Amino acid sequence: MKIPRAAVLVLSMVVFLSVAGRTAAQDKGNAGISMGYPASIGFVYHVSDRLALRPEISFIRTTSDRDSTFGDISTKGLTFEIGISGLFYVRRWDKVRAYVSPGYSYRHSDVSVDSPDLLDFDTSTFTGHRFSGSFGAQYSLHERFSVFGEAGLQYLTQQIESDLSLAESKMKTFGSRTAIGVIFFF
């Protein structure tokens, strides 16, 4: 059964207006854009005074060219990561808020190599899942601008497929995690 375009358009408008109405009724500063290091761009949405959600996205595009005794080698890569964190606020001191933040992200990387026939392999694919837990603090410099810092632990599982080896490889990493950034609230 095919749904008419007009019905889809009307339904989309109703959903948009109802969400926009609920957002407008909330206090200013409940949603914002976050930018951080390691390089990521996200969106912060305060569900309540004690809970915020922070979906994030990051990507890196790399290229390299080098001369070797076997000829010119060109490498191109693209890494894409998408994730979400929960910010559970546990304490407030004036303009400072402390929180704990569990998180999950999915990472995908493709690397291709153009080389002479002697080094003949074309692509490698890396896919992984990152689980993290952090303690952080957020300082409000203005009602629409905050800075934050986090420290914690992370666990990364990664699967590697490559033309160089016929078998798949799996890698697991456990280590520390830090992040800093800013949030601009609408």
Region 62-74: mean pLDDT is: 78
Select from 119, 154, 118 the least CA-distant residue to 134.
Answer: 154
Q: Could you tell me if 74 and 114 are in contact, meaning their C-beta atoms sit under 8 angstroms apart? A: yes
pTM: 0.74
Residue ranges per domain, the chain? 30-185
Overall fold of domain 30-185: Porin (2.40.160)
pLDDT tens digits, one per residue of 133-174: 999 999 999 999 999 999 999 999 999 887 666 667 899 999
